[in-house]
Amino acid sequence: MAVQASNQALAGAAARGLDKSAIEAVFSPRSVAVLGVTKSPGTVPYDIFHNILGSSYTGVLYPVAPGKRSIDSVRAYRYLTDIDDQVDLAVLVFPANVCEKALEHCAAKGVKGVIIISAGFREVGPEGVSREQRIKQICRENGIAMIGPNCLGVINTDPAISLNASFARKMPAEGRIAFLSQSGALCTAVLDYARGKGIGFSKFVSFGNKAGLTEMDLLEYLHDDEKTDVILLYLEELRNGRKLIEVARRITRGAGAKPILAIKSGRTPQGASAAASHTGSLAGEDAICEAVFREAGIIRVASIEELFNTAIMLTNQPLPKGDRLAIVTNAGGPGVMATDAAVRTGLSIARFAPETTAKLKAALPAAANIKNPVDVIGDARCDRYMAAMEAVLADDGVDQMLVILTPQSMTDIDDIARGVTRVHARADKPIACSFMGACDVASGIEILQADNIPHYILPEWACKAMTDVQRVIKWRSQPEEQPQQMPADRAAAEAIIDSLPAGYLREDQALAVLKAYGFSVPDYKLCRTADEAVQFADSIGYPAVLRIVSPQVVHKFDVKGVALNLQSAQAVRDAYRDMMAAVRAKVKDATIDGVIVRRMMPAGHEIILGAKQDAVFGPTLMYGLGGLFVEVFKDVTFALAPIGPDAAMRMIRDVKAHSLLEGARGTPPADVEAICQSLLRLSRLVTDFPRIAELDINPLLVWPAGKGGAVADVRIRLNGENQPQ
Amino acid sequence: MDSKEIQDRVVKVVCEVLGVDAGMVAPESNFVFDLGAESSQSIQLVAGFEEEFGIDMDNEAALAVQTVGDAVTFIAKYVK
């Protein structure tokens, strides 16, 4: 076989009874049978057969077309089992209701790879779901690697195979980029788009309903595919987020690392907006996905354009040693725009060494700008561009170069493009180009693309792509971090949680859980009478705080269920009386368990820490500054638990308002270490207790550095799993 | 009309529309999987059966019939 399948791919696939040869059979078959071919041009069955025939496939192709002697002079077979030779890959284009029969023939024949193009499965409703379950079972029982159903197909451009087993219009050019997509229709648009940009592919897979091989299996396979340098992924749904992270981390870091770029189309889960907690309402699938992709080293982009803009910077180019960019342009305006874009996206503008400046001064006219961005001015021809590019690339303070060209009447566009290709061939630094325009620059762009030199219509796109490359580099250099296990009294928390049904914990119970996990919780007591409240307040000192405890009261402030800054016993007594009356008036049938009495804490930074059990990703943490920052600006960060200190600090630093914690307008820096420790404790708590469905600590009050912080309010909701009877 | 006659006439229509030999057609034959009926031919089969037997069938139900034997049973309801 041309390519060895990844051992890792088979670790996951082995669990489903697949061996090495099965996945290989999908991508590198020696023989292919198309089951259900018709004689009607323009139909999927006919077109797929013809695409394989027309793609110069190097293996043997068999049409299975009952009732037909031949399909376009290729001998046809009634059944797969009528074929004497071994068949590696079967492509099913029969209607869905006979695919099961066809798959049984595949199993009987010993076919190891199957692509089911046919629609009419899970996506059409209950009958389709059952149908899909049955074909899954057949594949599992017979060790068949299946792509689909309901997919566009698979393309392998390796000249040793050259297979277009899809109903895409044309075979793409060979390239070093692999594309995996959950949307078949998008695939055809992507192929056409890439063709227009001169971008080729190594492998192209539409995996449809992913009833067999999933994106995880395919990612692992591509990890070891020697023909693939970059993996692009389009996803609509994630079923196993943690597995994706595990697989992606292996691929994007370490030996043989390959970048993964992804588009994940957003879907707002209905539950997110209905959640009662801040965490529940903010932690929609898309928000968590953003964080998860970051943790997995997957570069998430927003569009097909961005996907390929970054992909082409990562193929056929060395990685830059740093982020220092040099710009060579024949137009001042675009040069400045590119500089602005570079700074905005996080790149550095290289400062030239004196030798470089001297070279530029000697080679360029007096009117040229010899600082960065180098402006060779509007009448520049190839010689001036060459002198500038060579001087700049030779500078050790330059890591990468962007060449901008605007088509003046004297600009020899094609010669300059060829000059760039000559410089590129000798360079050990990445080069990108922006020949701005559409018509006059078209032939020059073709010259660049033919040499795989990344080209962008706008310099800003080049800068964004270069910044994404920096993200890849930074990710690879980040050390692998282990989660940190904070000390905790798990048994004490367990005693509380295991004794309770689904629903919200009383505040005293929630505080007790946090205390067991080492959170700083001020002394408190659940008091059921005014006398008890006064007695406790006397013991802990004033000012005191009273907080109503009632299963029917979730938002305490809304019902006057919180009294602050109570300076005396009488104030406590009055507050107790008033609170009972107010709550009973506002919440008619409230069951009042009492009030939490605690000492009033000094003002500090208000932080929100949250957690939820996400259906796709499991225990998920949220962090942000409280108050307006979370309610209005939604300035929060997410991570999957468990986390270590580095991940906790990243969550803290990544909120936009973080600078407020570093000290603003003369205020001292906050105790960020205390926040970090609290995040780690929360991480352990929600990992240990999957029954914690949602948790909000809002606020965690944090004081100046060294003074720590403490929980001012907490809500914990348990789910119903393993609840007591 | 007995079952055998219905079956013989069904097979005749199948052979005409799908261009297959009668020897290929058995009661358990699936129109698509065993006899290669394409979607346009399925419509032609229904029209062919209606003409052969002088009946007017529920087209949606007729198109859902998958085997020759099931077609015989389906048509028998109309003929009787």
Answer yes or no: is pLDDT of A163 > 80.
yes
pLDDT digits (tens, 9 = 90+) for A409-425: 999 999 999 999 999 99
Q: What residues make up the domain containing B52?
A: 3-79
A108 at interface of B, judged by CB pairs closer than 8 A: no
The rounded distance, in Å, linking the Cα atoms of A620 and A462 is 34
Instruction: Tell me what the mean pLDDT of segment A178-198 comes to.
Output: 90
Q: What is the pLDDT of residue A185?
A: 80
**Three-state SS letters, B1-68:** CCHHHHHHHHHHHHHHHHCCCHHHCCCCCECCCCCCCCHHHHHHHHHHHHHHHCCCCCHHHHHCCCEH
Residues of A in contact with B32 (CB under 8 A): 36, 66, 94-95, 97-98
The rounded distance, in Å, linking the Cα atoms of A554 and A717 is 11
> Ramachandran region of residue A316, left (φ > 0), alpha (ψ -120 to 50) or beta?
left
Residue pair B45/B53 in contact (Cβ under 8 Å)? The answer is: no
Answer yes or no: is pLDDT of A4 > 50.
no
What total of structural domains would you count in chain B? 1
The rounded distance, in Å, linking the Cα atoms of B5 and B18 is 20
A457-468 per-residue burial string, b: 16 or more CB within 10 A, e: under 16: bbbbbbbbbbbb
B8 at interface of A, judged by CB pairs closer than 8 A: no
Task: List domains and CATH numbers for chain A.
Answer: 7-228 (3.40.50.720), 319-459 (3.40.50.261), 523-600 (3.30.1490.20)
State whether the Cα torsion A91-A93-A99-A105 is positive or negative: negative
Q: How many CB pairs under 8 A join A and B?
A: 37
Residues of A in contact with B66 (CB under 8 A): 97-98
pLDDT digits (tens, 9 = 90+) for A427-470: 999 999 999 999 999 999 999 999 999 999 999 999 999 999 99
Nearest to A101 among B24, B33, B38 (CB): B33
pLDDT digits (tens, 9 = 90+) for A212-224: 999 999 999 999 9
Answer yes or no: is pLDDT of A267 > 70.
no
Instruction: Tell me what the mean pLDDT of segment A94-107 comes to.
Output: 96
pLDDT digits (tens, 9 = 90+) for A544-559: 999 999 988 878 888 9
Q: What is the pLDDT of residue A276?
A: 55
Residue pair A78/A102 in contact (Cβ under 8 Å)? The answer is: no
Q: Which of A130-144, A390-404, A468-482 has the lowest mean pLDDT?
A: A468-482
CATH label of the domain that carries residue B65: 1.10.1200.10
State pTM to two decimals: 0.87
Three-state secondary structure call for residue A79: coil
Instruction: Give A 51-70 residues with CB within 8 A of chain B.
Output: 65-68
What the block records as the tokens of A207 is: 């995996």
Who wins on pLDDT, A587 or A19? Answer: A587
Angle between helices A382-393 and A413-426 (to 10 degrees): 20
- CB neighbour list of residue A23: distance below 8 Å, 6 or more residues apart: A5, A9, A10, A13, A113, A145, A213, A217, A221
A325 strand-pairing partners = A349, A400
Distances (CA, A) of A511 to A67, A521, A642: 75, 7, 21
Q: For residue A176, report the phi and psi dihedrals to the nearest 5 degrees.
A: -110, 10
Q: For residue A113, report the phi and psi dihedrals to the nearest 5 degrees.
A: -120, 135
Q: Which residue has the tokens 């392998």?
A: A156
State whether the Cα torsion B58-B62-B63-B64 is positive or negative: positive
Q: Percentage of chain A with pLDDT > 70?
A: 94
Three-state secondary structure call for residue A293: helix
- CB neighbour list of residue A248: distance below 8 Å, 6 or more residues apart: A219, A260, A296, A297, A298
Q: Flag if B36 and A66 touch (Cβ within 8 Å).
A: yes
Q: How confident is the model at residue A725 (pLDDT cuts 50, 70, 90)?
A: very low
Q: What is the pLDDT of residue A19?
A: 72
Considering A51-60, A240-249, A632-641, the range whose residues carry the highest mean pLDDT is A51-60
Q: What is the pLDDT of residue A272?
A: 41
Residue pair A157/A146 in contact (Cβ under 8 Å)? The answer is: no
Answer yes or no: is pLDDT of A709 > 70.
yes
Residue pair A90/A111 in contact (Cβ under 8 Å)? The answer is: yes
Judged on CB neighbours under 10 Å (0-12, 13-18, 19+), A710 is buried
What the block records as the tokens of A428 is: 């050990």
How many other CB atoms are found less than 10 A from the CB of residue A440?
14
pLDDT digits (tens, 9 = 90+) for A464-484: 999 999 999 999 998 888 888
What the block records as the tokens of A181 is: 């997509």
Answer yes or no: is pLDDT of A273 > 50.
no
Angle between helices A645-654 and A672-688 (to 10 degrees): 120
Residues of A in contact with B36 (CB under 8 A): 38, 65-68, 78
The rounded distance, in Å, linking the Cα atoms of A708 and A671 is 6
A50-87 per-residue burial string, b: 16 or more CB within 10 A, e: under 16: bbbbebebebebbbbbbbbeebeeeebbbbbeebeeeb
B32 at interface of A, judged by CB pairs closer than 8 A: yes
Nearest to B33 among A40, A68, A102 (CB): A102
Q: Which residue has the tokens 């993996």?
A: A231
Residues of A in contact with B26 (CB under 8 A): none
- CB neighbour list of residue A55: distance below 8 Å, 6 or more residues apart: A155, A162, A163, A164, A171
Written as one string, the DSSP assignment of A643-701 is --HHHHHHHHHHSGGGGGGG--TTPPPB-HHHHHHHHHHHHHHHHH-TTEEEEEEEEEE
The rounded distance, in Å, linking the Cα atoms of A557 and A531 is 23
Q: Flag if B32 and A65 touch (Cβ within 8 Å).
A: no
The rounded distance, in Å, linking the Cα atoms of A115 and A259 is 27
Q: What is the pLDDT of residue A269?
A: 52
The rounded distance, in Å, linking the Cα atoms of A553 and A561 is 8
Residues of A in contact with B37 (CB under 8 A): 67
Answer yes or no: is pLDDT of B80 > 80.
no
Distances (CA, A) of A385 to A328, A330, A362: 8, 8, 13
Residue pair A86/B20 in contact (Cβ under 8 Å)? The answer is: no
What the block records as the tokens of B23 is: 């020897």
Interface test with A, best of B14, B24, B28, B33 (most A CBs within 10 A): B33
Question: Min CA distance, A64 vs chain B (Å)?
Answer: 9
A42 at interface of B, judged by CB pairs closer than 8 A: no
Residues of A in contact with B40 (CB under 8 A): 40
The rounded distance, in Å, linking the Cα atoms of A292 and A644 is 15
Nearest CA in chain B to A68: B36
pLDDT digits (tens, 9 = 90+) for B16-73: 999 999 999 999 999 999 999 998 999 999 999 999 999 999 999 999 999 999 999 9
What the block records as the tokens of A7 is: 């051992």
Residue pair A621/A610 in contact (Cβ under 8 Å)? The answer is: yes
Nearest CA in chain A to B30: A98
Residues of B in contact with A39 (CB under 8 A): 38
Considering A392-396, A474-478, A503-507, the range whose residues carry the highest mean pLDDT is A392-396
- Which of A154, A124, A123, A179 minimizes the C-alpha distance to A23? A154
Residue pair A33/A89 in contact (Cβ under 8 Å)? The answer is: yes
Q: Flag if B34 and A78 touch (Cβ within 8 Å).
A: yes
Q: What is the pLDDT of residue A598?
A: 95
The rounded distance, in Å, linking the Cα atoms of A199 and A586 is 66
Q: How confident is the model at residue A292 (pLDDT cuts 50, 70, 90)?
A: confident
Answer yes or no: is pLDDT of A9 > 80.
no
pLDDT digits (tens, 9 = 90+) for A658-692: 988 988 778 889 999 999 999 999 999 999 999 99
Nearest CA in chain B to A63: B36
For residue B21, the Cα-to-chain-centroid distance in whole angstroms is: 14
Pairing of strands A692-702, A714-718: antiparallel
Nearest CA in chain B to A78: B34
What the block records as the tokens of A498 is: 């295991």
Residues of A in contact with B19 (CB under 8 A): 67
**Chain-wide mean pLDDT for chain A?**
91
Tell me the residue type at A207.
F
Q: Flag if A67 and B30 touch (Cβ within 8 Å).
A: no
Longest CA pairwise span in chain B (Å)? 29
Nearest CA in chain B to A41: B38
How many other CB atoms are found less than 10 A from the CB of residue A193?
15
The rounded distance, in Å, linking the Cα atoms of A156 and A211 is 21
Q: What is the pLDDT of residue A402?
A: 98
Q: What is the pLDDT of residue A261?
A: 96
Residue pair A708/A520 in contact (Cβ under 8 Å)? The answer is: yes
B33 at interface of A, judged by CB pairs closer than 8 A: yes
Beta strands in A84-188 (DSSP E): 89-92, 113-116, 145-147, 153-156, 163-166, 174-181
Q: What is the pLDDT of residue A379?
A: 95
A97 at interface of B, judged by CB pairs closer than 8 A: yes
Q: What is the pLDDT of residue A723?
A: 55
A104 at interface of B, judged by CB pairs closer than 8 A: no
